Structures are given as structure tokens and as C-alpha cells.
A and B are shown apart, each in its own frame.
Chain A
Amino acid sequence: MRWLSWFILAYLALGLQSGLGSYIAWEGVPPNLVLIAVIFVALNAPREPALLGAYFMGLLQDALTQEPLGTYALTYGLVTLLVQTGQGAVYREHPLTHVSLTLGGGAISGLVLFAQSLIWAPRPPVMELVICCIYTAALAPVLLWPLQKAKWLFAFQVAKRSPKRA
């Protein structure tokens, strides 16, 4: 994976999330644009760069929110592990894949935020987590389509199988 492209994607996703989030909020809940970027990388990149890329994208998002540091890093690490597990079995270009993976990612994100609120912060309204998840999933095909078309910029390499031992 080309890390410069990854960095630009992460920077733009976080910038859009911070700058645009409150303007495109639905029922007061912004979509999670960074999660869509994470899904894109997890869907296309080999396992190791995908996991590291998602982790550090989460870490950057942690720096821009009130949640304790590590929340989104942990979340996106888990989301990428999930996506990577089924990476070979899904049709990467299909909008249904994008919606279902983003719904799954949003659900993991919601669970982590909820679990964390049991220890630290006051509990977030469940409806807010659900709306964020659905809203993000609805936007995923729209945003992932151009990203998929431009994936050559990232020079993703298909993971090679290790040679069988004689």
C-alpha cells in the first residue's frame, strides 16, 4: 500500500468529519466518514497494512474527539479484523457489501463506545449510536464507489499465498 495516499485519505476524512460533521448531521447525529475510509482500506489492502492503517486512522480520530485516547483505534482495529476475515469471500465493488460492512463496523463502534461509557463517560443514547450506524451505512456506497474507482492510487497489493512445503 502507498502510505502517502493513505495519509491523504486519512487527513481528508478527518478534516471532512471535523469540518462538515455538524452540517450534515441527521437528527443531530453526524455520520462517521472516517469509518468509511477504514472500510475502504480494510477491503482492499493486505492484512498488515490494513490493520496498521486502520489503527492509526483511529488514533488520529481519537485526537479530535472527547472520547478517551484509544477508543477509535481499538474500534477500527476490530473492524478491520472483521473485514479482513471475510475479505476473500465478498464482492468488493458491490454496494451491498459496502452497506453491510459499514453496518457491521458501525455496530462494533457503537458497542465499544457503549462498553466504554460503562466505565468512563455518561452513557450515550442508544438511538444516537443506531442513527450514526445507519446514516454512515447509507452514505457508504456513495463514498466508496469513487474510492474504489481510484484505488489504483493506493497501489494495493493482493496478498500472496505462502508456498506449500514439500
Chain B
Amino acid sequence: MRSFQFNHVFAGLMGIALLSAFVAPKPLSDRARAQVQVLFGVVASPIRSAADSVAMRFRPAERVDLASPPGTSRTYREIADENRQLRTALSAIVTQFQQLKNVDEERASLGTLRQSCRAMKVVASDSGLRRSLSVQGNLADIRPGMAAIYAGALVGRLDRVAWAGGAQVQLVTDRAFRASVHFGRQQRGSSGQREFVPVGKLSGLIEGNGQDGMAVRNIAMKDVAESGLAVGDWAVLYDTDYSLLLQGYQVGEVTQISPSRTILLFAEIQIRPVRDLRTLREVMILVK
């Protein structure tokens, strides 16, 4: 009799799981799940820190030099010159900003991207085969859908937010991630300074490939050839779902351009983030 009752209970539980996994829309279950993530941060976070310090001993630090064209590196003199120019430009911008602030107090909310962000600590990565990060920090005014960035590029967007202090960031490499992008490249302008130049008028839909990259598959091969898009060019955000401050923000770097194997006459543009997003220690959430 007891076994009979148990079988019914277990069949019911499996039925609920089946309905939830295959029929119920995802947001229904997200609120409850977000609370549970926080509980596991206690053990996941120290393990992650330990693994990170071990990994750093065996793996050299990644070289992140976004200003240099691919395959080249700048000399210390060039970097020092560039820093001097940037300092001059920064002081001019700060002064102009201060004047604008005085002229129109109502526009005091104008600020840099950094001022609009809140840092959150990464405590764990996805426990399944998807690409996401569990983050913890002050969640006041933070909502699902907000963009997560780090110095240099887009990380993803917030998918779930818990009241207990945790949230989950869907990475740009997750297979369900979609965003519109434009392309461009860093090159020296007529004044000798590096500047960002758009590559034609190419616009495409970037999709995470579920591993460590992304791909754009909705641009005709002919358009790609005409625009002159090349390996090493940047894919930058051009999506109205994201804040205006993020338009033109880097998503990744073009690593391969080839004819699509599934859609005739279309190209498949492979894009990779500048660094491994799953090993980030901190992400910035654009809260404004």
C-alpha cells in the first residue's frame, strides 16, 4: 500500500517536472529559482576563488590590448604618448562637462558609462551546459534585462534577479542570446590618432553559439565582400533593447568569415569575446 502511494506521489512529481520543463513558460519558475542560487554561493564562491588562483599559476595572464590592431603591439613610447593625449583629452572633457553642468542643472544626470554601472561579484558559473554567471551584490533598482559589461566589452544581460542578493547573467555566448550588431575597426585617422571606423553599413543579428563564441548568419556573402569586413574587426552593439550608452559598445572580435553551410549565398561570421567570460571575477551592471 505504501509503495502504491509513493509511486503515485513520484509520478506526480515527475509530471510536474515534465510540465515545468516542456510546457510552462520560463519566467513562471524564475522567481523561485533566483533565491536558491544565493544559497550555493557560500560554497561555490570559495571554490571558484581557489580554482582561479590555481589556474592563474598554470596559465599566463591574458593579454588584453584593445587599442592595438590584431597581430601587432604598441611600444612603450607609443603607449606613453597615447596616455598623454588621453589625459589631455580627459581634462578637456571634464572641464566641458563641468561647464555644461553649471549651465543646465537639469542635465546633471549626464555621466560616463562607469558612473552608470554597479559592480557585482561573480560567484559561480552555470551548473549545466548553458553559459551564464551567478553574481552577487547590491540589487537595489536592478532588474532582469539590464546589460552586464566589463572593461572593454559586453558580457551579457541579467536574466534573473533575487531579493536575497543574487542574480544570474546570461552570457553573450549562451545559445539563447540574441542582439543586433554593427561592425567596425580601429585604425589610425588622418591626425595619427586611433579611431573607430564603421565597416560599411553591415548590420546583423548576433547569436551565442553555446560555447565560447558567437556567430552572425543573416548577412549575404555579397554584402560582406563589398563591405570589406575582415578578421580582427569588431562587432559592436546596435540594439534598441539596450541603453543608448551602450550603443557601439564592443561585443566581440571577428575570428572567421566563411560561406554559410546551411543558407545559400549567406555568410557565417564567427565572433569571439576578447576574453573568456566564464572566468571573470566581476561584472558591471548598467543600472541606468
Q: Which A residues have a C-beta under 8 Å from some C-beta of B? A: 11-12, 14-24, 28-30, 32, 34, 48, 51-52, 55, 58-74, 77-78, 112-113, 115-116, 119-125, 128-129, 132
Q: Tell whether, in the assembled complex, residue B21 and residue A71 are in contact, meaning their CB atoms are under 8 Å apart.
A: yes
Q: Which 10 A-B pairs have the closest CB atoms?
A: A15-B43, A70-B20, A19-B47, A18-B124, A69-B29, A65-B128, A63-B36, A70-B17, A66-B130, A19-B44
User: Counting CB contacts under 8 A, is B55 at the interface?
Assistant: yes
Known: A19-B44, A66-B132, A122-B176. A116 touches B21 (CB 8 A): yes
- Output the least CB separation between A22 and chain B (Å): 4
User: Counting CB contacts under 8 A, is B76 at the interface?
Assistant: no
Contact residues in A for B209 (Cβ distance below 8 Å): 125
Q: Which B residues have a C-beta under 8 Å from some C-beta of A? A: 3, 6, 10, 13-14, 16-22, 24, 26, 29-30, 32-34, 36-37, 40, 42-48, 51-52, 54-55, 123-132, 134, 159, 168, 170, 174-176, 207, 209-212, 278-279
Cα A59 to Cα B20 with chains together (Å): 11
Cα A125 to Cα B175 with chains together (Å): 9
Contact residues in A for B24 (Cβ distance below 8 Å): 68-70
Contact residues in B for A23 (Cβ distance below 8 Å): 48, 51-52, 54-55, 279
Residue of A nearest to B14 (CB): A77
- Residue among A29, A62, A129 with the highest chain B CB neighbour number at 10 A: A62
Q: Tell whether, in the assembled complex, residue A128 and residue B129 are in contact, meaning their CB atoms are under 8 Å apart.
A: yes
Question: Could you count the A-B residue pairs with CB atoms below 8 Å apart for me: how many are there?
Answer: 175
Contact residues in A for B21 (Cβ distance below 8 Å): 67-71, 73-74, 112, 116
Q: Tell whether, in the assembled complex, residue A70 and residue B16 are in contact, meaning their CB atoms are under 8 Å apart.
A: yes
Known: A11-B43, A73-B14, A74-B18. 15 other contacts (CB 8 A): A20-B47, A23-B51, A23-B54, A63-B33, A64-B40, A64-B124, A65-B129, A66-B126, A66-B132, A71-B128, A77-B13, A77-B14, A120-B26, A122-B207, A129-B129
Cα A118 to Cα B158 with chains together (Å): 24
Q: Which listed residue, A12, A68, A121, touches B29 by the CB 8 Å rule?
A: A68
Contact residues in B for A112 (Cβ distance below 8 Å): 21
- Residue among B17, B24, B48, B209 with the highest chain A CB neighbour number at 10 A: B17
Cα A23 to Cα B211 with chains together (Å): 14
- Output the least CB separation between B15 and chain A (Å): 9
Known: A22-B125, A77-B17. A128 touches B33 (CB 8 A): no
Contact residues in A for B207 (Cβ distance below 8 Å): 122
Contact residues in B for A18 (Cβ distance below 8 Å): 40, 44, 48, 123-127, 134
